[in-house]
Amino acid sequence: MDVGGCPLPEDRLYDLEHDVWWAADPSGDGSARVGVLGTLAAFAGPFREVTFRPVDGRVARGRSVATVESARFTGAVRLPVDAVVVARNDALPARPRLLNDAPYSDGWVVRVRPDRPDDPARFLESAAAVAGRLAEQIRVRRIRCWPQTPDLELFEIGIECSAVLTALNDELARQPAGTAVLLVTDDPTSPIEMVRWSDQTGHPVLAHRAEGTLHQFLVRKEAQPRPRRRRP
């Protein structure tokens, strides 16, 4: 399911109050993975630190099991039901960006076993049940989900596209391969020019979104770009 441009998998349950999801383990052993919503990751920006709390035994509903931090957000990951933590995602402290890049798969936070098997159904909701409220949350918070979390934003307003592209090229030259740049411009010719730019440089435009007079382009710097068209 897609809500306001953000993915919302239908194979799990949700706690919007705490921005977490719950996915039962397919093995049927009664455990489940818990992670943060992709909308929270989009709102927070690139995560740079994940710290697990040293909790043992039963953890009450609403208590935190980890803290996540980005440049503009710090918050707790809270359990949606009473449960025992049986595993932590050891990859997260070394790669916090997994929360951004794969929030519903490799970016899971903890695996738990609920105290009472019926609690998830009592306290959590399906994707269909939360979709309307999540859409409103996306609107109010002005959340924008992208195929890759932007590493930086480049605002070029009131200048011609040639100057915009010069600024973009200069910025990409300073960044390592794999960097995603969100370019924002109000040049009306930019949709055409960005296609041409991508063909000439070999760096892909991952997404384009138009809002009013503004155009937003998510581009990624390739390690070995392959231009499809020679520069004039």
* Nearest by Cα to 187 from 179, 200, 196, 175: 196
Q: Looking at residue 116, what is its pLDDT?
A: 95
Give the Cα separation of 149 and 41 in Å (integer): 8
Please state the domain extents for the chain. 2-141, 152-220
Note the CATH architecture for domain 2-141: Beta Barrel (2.40)
Contact indicator for 181, 164 with CB cutoff of 8 Å:
no
Provide the pLDDT for residue 118: 95
Question: What CATH architecture applies to the domain 152-220?
Answer: 2-Layer Sandwich (3.30)
Q: What confidence score (pLDDT) does residue 228 get? A: 85
Task: Report the alpha-carbon angle 135-139-144, nearest 5.
Answer: 90
What span, in angstroms and rounded, lies between the C-alpha atoms of 107 and 95? 9
Residue 229 is predicted with a pLDDT of 63
pLDDT computed for residue 230 by the predictor: 56
Rounded CA gap, 59 and 56, in Å? 8
User: Which amino acid does the sequence have at 76?
Assistant: A
User: What CA–CA distance (Å, rounded) separates 111 from 84?
Assistant: 9
Which pLDDT does position 126 carry in this prediction?
A: 98
**pLDDT in tens for each of the 232 residues of the chain?**
999 999 999 999 999 999 999 999 988 889 999 999 999 999 999 999 999 999 878 999 999 999 999 999 999 999 999 999 999 999 999 999 999 999 999 999 999 999 999 999 999 999 999 999 999 999 999 999 999 999 999 999 999 889 999 999 999 999 999 999 999 999 999 999 999 999 999 999 999 999 999 999 999 999 999 998 655 5
- Give yes or no on whether 2-141 and 152-220 have one common fold: no
What pLDDT, on a 0 to 100 scale, did the predictor assign at position 205? Answer: 97
Between CA 86 and CA 177 the distance in angstroms is: 37
Backbone conformation region of residue 225, classed left if phi is above 0, alpha if psi is from -120 to 50, else beta: beta
